[in-house]
Amino acid sequence: MQTSQLGQPHEAMFLILPYLPLFELLSMTQLCKSLKDALKDDILPWLNIVVEKPLSTRFSDDFLVKITSKAKGRLRVVALKNCFKITDEGLLQVIASNPHINKLYLQGCTGLTIEGVLEAVKLLTKGNHRLQNLAISGIYNVKTEDFGTLCYLMGINQMQMRERKKNYYHRRDELCTFKQESHPSIDVDICPKCEEIREVFECPRDSCKRKMQQQQQEQQQQLFIECRGCFLCVPRCEECGVCTKDKELGEAACADILCLNCWLHLPKCSYCNKAYCNKHVHLQHSQRPAGFLCSDCSFHATESSDYEDC
Ligand SMILES: [Zn+2]
Ligand SMILES: [Zn+2]
Ligand SMILES: [Zn+2]
Ligand SMILES: [Zn+2]
Ligand SMILES: [Zn+2]
């Protein structure tokens, strides 16, 4: 189909553009010339920059600076997920010319240092600048003092944040980039078990929740709930986020943990009866007429059929 036959893009298109991840936005400009022309002059789609897979691994400082310059200093949201090539220098260059960013998500940007992040947050909370949401999980060497400074700069009351925000393990990858939140927040906390600054998860298991409510009623510190902790301290089911310590588990075909209940509901390898979590279903090797083999079983099956051929 020729783009000239398509005419002007529908007006509704321009309503969704500001909400598209960068990869989709750029792909669309490649697709249609009139859209490309329209986007060149329109500032709105460039105010929120969301970089995820598959762009994140290739996303460099130069690219970041180039793309964000399209917002002409009016950037609102910067979400860089696992963009490990981004350095403090690139980030700070963008922040310096865009002081009104109110959401800054930097999960897994391991090329950044906490010093760089602190510098960025200082600029974004200075005077009338209002950074509302910050995500830094995965950035190395964040100390308790750094966490305290970030909370102080952003005006976060740590106790209130804990009560308000229930962070669940199985929802950790959900993008809440455009959700309007009335309170400032940060994605990490002090793990009550190891005292490292990491994402700390609550437990959705009914019996654990009941225990927690009971403790709250008795006005005990919510912090000492047995299964509240970071991903290293409290192993959790990939599918439903419940703690799995001392509980019966289902056998997983991937490296994730599955509680027995979730395992029962998931499809299993026809040979070894292990299940994939939903994140890894693409590793299934489908079998005729029905069912699938896990990667391991499929590998061994082809190996042994090779022997038979000899
Ligand atoms: Zn921990
Ligand atoms: Zn589960
Ligand atoms: Zn629990
Ligand atoms: Zn198998
Ligand atoms: Zn998995």
Nearest CA-CA partner of 198 in 189, 207, 206: 189
Predicted confidence pLDDT, tens digits, the chain (310 residues): 444 455 666 777 777 777 788 888 888 777 777 777 777 777 888 889 999 888 999 999 999 999 999 899 999 999 999 999 999 999 999 999 999 999 999 999 999 999 999 999 999 999 888 899 999 999 999 999 999 999 999 999 988 888 887 899 999 877 666 666 778 999 999 999 999 999 999 999 998 888 877 777 776 554 466 789 999 999 999 999 999 987 889 999 999 999 999 999 999 999 999 999 999 999 999 988 889 999 999 998 887 776 555 5
Conformation bin of residue 79: beta by default, left when phi > 0, alpha when psi is -120 to 50: beta
Q: What pLDDT, on a 0 to 100 scale, did the predictor assign at position 7?
A: 63
Nearest CA-CA partner of 87 in 110, 108, 69: 110
Nearest CA-CA partner of 228 in 211, 240, 214: 211
User: Which ligand lies nearest the alpha carbon of 237?
Assistant: 2
What is the C-alpha to C-alpha distance for residues 211 and 130, in angstroms, rounded to an integer? 37
Q: What pLDDT, on a 0 to 100 scale, did the predictor assign at position 86?
A: 97
- Which pTM was predicted? 0.84
Distance 200 CA to ligand 1 centre (A): 8
User: Which ligand lies nearest the alpha carbon of 273?
Assistant: 4
Distance 250 CA to ligand 3 centre (A): 17
Distance 262 CA to ligand 4 centre (A): 17
Distance 195 CA to ligand 3 centre (A): 19
Q: What pLDDT, on a 0 to 100 scale, did the predictor assign at position 279?
A: 93
Cβ-contact 132, 105 below 8 angstroms: no
Q: Kindly state the DSSP code that residue 134 receives in the 8-state scheme.
A: E
Distance 124 CA to ligand 5 centre (A): 37
Distance 192 CA to ligand 3 centre (A): 14
Cβ-contact 197, 190 below 8 angstroms: yes
Q: What pLDDT, on a 0 to 100 scale, did the predictor assign at position 2?
A: 45
pLDDT digits (tens, 9 = 90+) for 83-93: 999 999 999 99
**In sequence order, what are the residues at sequence separation of 6 or more whose Cβ sits closer than 8 angstroms to the Cβ of residue 278?**
239, 266
- Max distance between CA atoms of the chain, in angstroms, equals 76
